[in-house]
Amino acid sequence: MDLTYTPEEEEFRARLRQWLGKALPTLPAKPSPDDWPGRRAYDLGWQRMLDDAGYAGVHWDASPTTRLIFLEETERAGAPYVGANFVGLLHAGPTIAAEGTAEQRARWLPPILRGEEVWCQGFSEPDAGSDLAALRTRACRDGDDYVVSGSKIWTSHAEVADWCELLVRTDPSAPKHRGITWLAMPMDAPGVTVRPLRTLAGSAEFAEVFLDEVRVPVANRVGEENDGWRVTMVTLSFERGTAFVGEVVACRRVLGELARTARENGRWDDPVVRRRLGRLNAEFRALWRLTQWNVSEAEANRGVPGVGGSVFKLRYSHARQELYDTAAGVLGPDCLDLDRPWTLDRLSSLSYTIAAGTSQIQRTIVAERILGLPKGR
């Protein structure tokens, strides 16, 4: 068990840190959360800066340890979050890289790396949430196209996306897991309607997407027809395995700020507040160690994350909610003030036990796939 980094890794860290020191002050002002075109431009602009400096593909082709260092350093330096690049960089991109043809990789991967195209994820439907395989959006073959009709919901960043990784049903007569296909759908295709949904935090982070006879070329299919569920599992393992790594560093920073705020406003004198902060320190230290453990394991398994991501996600999503509940305790009545940053973060944290598979679903995955408990009737 070795927690030290190699000289090459340390050199990577030092170079990155130096670059961040120079690059971050040149960033434009952060757009407001409601300014979607502004947010898109800002997030893509950051990705282009990364690309120019040679860091664009760090999520894909760097070793897991290098990626960990990248996430750690960018977060420490206060660099922008992946934002609108989330699905492209951490989700659709890795899936296309793993499952796509050479042509598909050449078409879709460079614009993601270059910060030119935004992707969104069209998996969930009104009647297919946790039971994702129950999805009903239909795709019928017509010549060289699929004709797609149905609706998707909770699609994050749909308003500003160029592409959608879309799950459709291509064989309604097959068992539900066997009739699904993974398509890349252009969001500007005729028949696509996006209707923003307001989240409880007040902003429109996700949307409903209505599909009315949208023509998607067969060439946009990743994987075989009706093999989309397997492709999806590849995608989900990326989402659950590595997508949240950088946030642990962020949580540790927030925790430090929280403790200092408590010292300033006097809440620190309350032993209950102090003990909660101490326990959270233990919690996020452990989650960081678990991250290092998982990254080292992935390093040994050539980068493909395992179901262990569910263990991390379960604990992390709960810890993050506890962090902001504790922040509310530190803020006192100020926790009701939407202009205090932690108030919005507290609201956002409520989605962590729901998005990307609810905690209940994750527990079932842990119990059945890791512990080998039987499926219920």
Partner 1 sequence: MRFQLTDDQRALRDGVRQLLARRFDGAALRAAVAAAGPGGAVLDRALWRELGAAGFFALRLPEEAGGVGLGLPEAALVFEEAGRALLPGPLIATHLAAGVVPGAATGEVVVAAVDGGLVEWWAQADVVRGEPAEGTGLDGGVREGGVRERGAPDGGAPERGVREGGAPEGFVSEGFVSEGVVPVRSVDPLTPLHRVSGASGRSSGSASPGPAPNPVAVLLTAAEQLGTAARVCELAVQHARTREQFGQPIGAFQAVKHLCADMLVRTEVARPAVYAAAVTAGPADIAAARLLADEAALRNTRDCLQVHGGMGFTWESEVHLHLKRAWVRAQRGGGVTESEEALAAELVD
Q: Residue 42 in 3-state DSSP? A: helix
Residue whose structure tokens are 């019928």? 140
- The H or E element containing residue 152 is strand 145-156
- Structure tokens given for 214: 């949208």
DSSP for 261-285, written as a single string:
HHHHHSGGG-HHHHHHHHHHHHHHH
67 CB-side CA count, 13 A: 25
User: Which residue number, 73 or 205, has a Cβ lying nearer to partner 1?
Assistant: 73
Q: Give the integer Cα–Cα distance in Å for 43 and 115.
A: 8
Q: Which residues contact residue 56 at a Cβ distance below 8 angstroms, ignoring those fewer than 6 apart?
A: 47, 50, 113, 114, 115
Give the one residue of 147, 250, 290, 347 binding partner 1; rule: CB under 8 A: 290
- Residue 143 near partner 1 by CB under 8 A: no
Q: Give the integer Cα–Cα distance in Å for 28 and 48.
A: 13
End-to-end CA, the chain: 42
- In whole angstroms, the minimum distance from the beta carbon of 355 to partner 1 comes to 18
Give the one residue of 30, 289, 338, 341 binding partner 1; rule: CB under 8 A: 289
- Residue 137 near ligand FAD by CB under 6 A: no
Interface with ligand FAD by CB under 6 A: which range of 16-24, 253-261, 306-314, 350-358? 350-358
* Residues 346 and 324: beta-carbon distance below 8 Å: yes
Question: Among 250, 118, 237, which residue's Cα sits nearest to residue 184?
Answer: 118
Q: Pick from partner 1, ligand FAD, none: which does 300 bind, CB < 5 to 8 A by kind?
A: partner 1
- Residue 360 near ligand FAD by CB under 6 A: yes
Distance of alpha carbon 111 from its chain centroid, rounded? Answer: 19
Site mask for partner 1 (CB under 8 A), range 241-260, x = bound: --------------xx-xxx
- In whole angstroms, the minimum distance from the beta carbon of 137 to ligand FAD comes to 11
Give the one residue of 171, 358, 366, 367 binding ligand FAD; rule: CB under 6 A: 358
Q: Pick from ligand FAD, partner 1, none: which does 206 bind, CB < 5 to 8 A by kind?
A: ligand FAD
Q: Pick from partner 1, ligand FAD, none: which does 156 bind, CB < 5 to 8 A by kind?
A: ligand FAD
Q: Pick from partner 1, ligand FAD, none: which does 308 bind, CB < 5 to 8 A by kind?
A: partner 1
Q: Give the integer Cα–Cα distance in Å for 193 and 195.
A: 7
- The H or E element containing residue 258 is helix 245-265
Q: Residue 13 in 3-state DSSP? A: helix
- In whole angstroms, the minimum distance from the beta carbon of 333 to partner 1 comes to 23
Site mask for partner 1 (CB under 8 A), range 95-114, x = bound: --------------------
- Residue 274 near partner 1 by CB under 8 A: yes
Site mask for partner 1 (CB under 8 A), range 39-78, x = bound: --------------------------x--x----------
Q: What is the dihedral of CA 123, 128, 131, 137, to 10 degrees?
A: -60
User: Which residue number, 123 or 146, has a Cβ lying nearer to ligand FAD?
Assistant: 123
Report which DSSP code applies to 125. B
- Residue 275 near partner 1 by CB under 8 A: yes
Kindly tell me the burial class for residue 239, based on how many C-beta atoms sit within 10 Å of its own C-beta (0-12, 13-18, 19 or more): buried
Positions marked catalytic: 239
- How many residues at the interface with ligand FAD, by CB under 6 A? 19
Site mask for ligand FAD (CB under 6 A), range 73-112, x = bound: ----------------------------------------
193-202 burial code (b ≥16 CB/10 A, e <16): ebeeeebebe
Residues that bind ligand FAD (CB under 6 A): 120-124, 129-130, 154-156, 206, 351, 354-358, 360-361
Residue numbers at the binding site for partner 1 (CB under 8 A): 1-6, 9, 65, 68, 255-256, 258-260, 263, 268, 271, 274-275, 277-279, 281-283, 285-287, 289-290, 292-293, 295-297, 299-300, 308, 311, 314-315, 360, 362-364, 366-368, 370-377
